[in-house]
Structure 1
């Protein structure tokens, strides 16, 4: 009996440690009318605050978990740019499907793994029928997708520049990519819009085409950035 109890405890500990080391997923906390959305995948984390009608702010960067702390190397923070480039430590713990971050409970959302899940960076864009390569530089546009949620962010961490973000829910099936916008820093009136695109992964690159939120035709190439 004693050996059985020890075995069960070891299994529980191993599961907890595995979750702590790989917290990939979507987590949501609610404060009055505001939603706090955490997206975690490919060693990257974003935290965005928004309501049904208003975008509030966003921050994020690369992360690791050590000694029961979430350690974030901040790449963007549109509310407090002085945080960019610094390492920030937050107490973290996991209890079943709840992530406690700095004692705030975030509920893990249902898994909905899709082929586009992960961290991407735009590396090509078509202009006048020609696809031009976007060289990797300090300024970048990245996109984090995980479990049916997405967020794009245009930033320059070196100059502490922030140029916009948007996000919400997405689906990717049979080369059809659809976004449902939950927040958009440039125009709150875009919240609730549904955008449809064509999407295809070729040679580990995501070819993305359709019309932008403004109705302009686009053809983009995204590469994994992990």
Structure 2
């Protein structure tokens, strides 16, 4: 056997023997894992990654972080690389980037992180508002100034496969200001959130809020009453920097 055929043969044997982690890109979707009463949730579209951890039996928000992501093949195996935009534990750990060994096998995802986490991909549930959105302005739209990617202070709302999460943060100083998330539905102009975790008030978990929605171009017009019963009208703008543009 010559040198040109030896290394491909050796690599194939190592893979079959389980000496090399399974490779492959992480498929877009929502992934869930549970360890010791803690729910671990990942939302990813292949270019952006959000991780959240929370307790459900006695509701308690624990942690969230997220940013722009990719999977790199390295000599030691594939690694998930995430350039963080926000990190709720930044004052404790000062993390701005993740490099996590990853293995993918069908719908199973394993991250060898602060502990070995084994995630299962959830069923696809495509809906009208899926995608990444940035808060732009209060409605109605009368040509007023808008917040966007150029502004360091952002409120991101990320919706995918029936799961939603909003995150308020400032990239200047890496300041985290709050988050909440859970399940959602969007149909026939009605958007409903079922709160599964809320960093500012755990007692809000279990509540459901319904709003009217309309998509106009790249804008999501969001109307209804907030959690305090006060009328609100928000305009969110599609964020193509955190997703693949059509």
Q: Provide the TM-score with structure 1 as the length reference.
A: 0.85
TM-aligned CA distance change 1:49 to 1:198, over 3 Å: same
What does residue 42 of structure 2 align with?
Answer: 38
Q: Which has the larger radius of gyration?
A: 2
The residue matched to 2:203 in structure 1 has which SS?
A: helix
Structure 1 segments, 4+ long, off by >6 Å, are none
| Match of residue 167, structure 2, among 143, 153, 168 | 153
Matching of residues 123-134 of structure 1 within 5 Å:
123-126=136-139, 132-134=144-146
TM-score (norm 2): 0.79
Distance 1:100 1:30, change over 3 A: same
Q: Are 2:107 and 1:97 equivalent residues in the alignment? A: yes
Do 2:46 and 2:70's aligned partners in 1 also have CA atoms closer than 8 Å? no
Check conservation: 2:55, 2:61, Cα contact below 8 A. Answer: yes
Q: Distance in 2 between matches of 1:224 and 1:114?
A: 15
Is 2:62 the partner of 1:56?
Answer: yes
CA-atom RMSD in angstroms: 2.1
Contact 1:74/1:83 (CA < 8 Å) preserved in 2?
no
1:132 to partner: Cα distance: 4.2
Deviation of 1:39 (Å): 1.0
Counterpart-to-counterpart distance in 2, 1:163 and 1:209: 23
Aligned to 2:90: 80
* Separation (CA, whole Å) in 2 of partners of 1:88 and 1:51: 23
**Alignment match, 1:121:** 134
Other structure's SS at 1:133 match = coil
CA contact (8 A) 2:103 2:109 kept: yes
Is the counterpart of residue 173 in structure 1 residue 177 in structure 2?
Answer: no
1:189 aligns with 2:210: no
Question: When you count strand as a share of all residues, which structure comes out higher?
Answer: 1
SS of corresponding position for 2:123: coil
**CA–CA separation in structure 1 for the residues paired with 2:223 and 2:143:** 12
Superposed CA deviations along residues 76-132 of structure 1, whole A, max 9, x for unmatched, are 111234545x332111111121111114101111110112111110111138x9684
Structure 1: 5+ residue stretches without partners? 1-15
| Aligned equivalents of 1:69, 1:42: Cα separation in 2 | 13
> How many residues matched?
208
**Which 10-residue stretch deviates more, 139-148 or 208-217?**
208-217
Gaps of at least 5 residues in structure 2 are: 1-21, 241-246
Contact 2:86 2:174 in 1 (8 A): yes
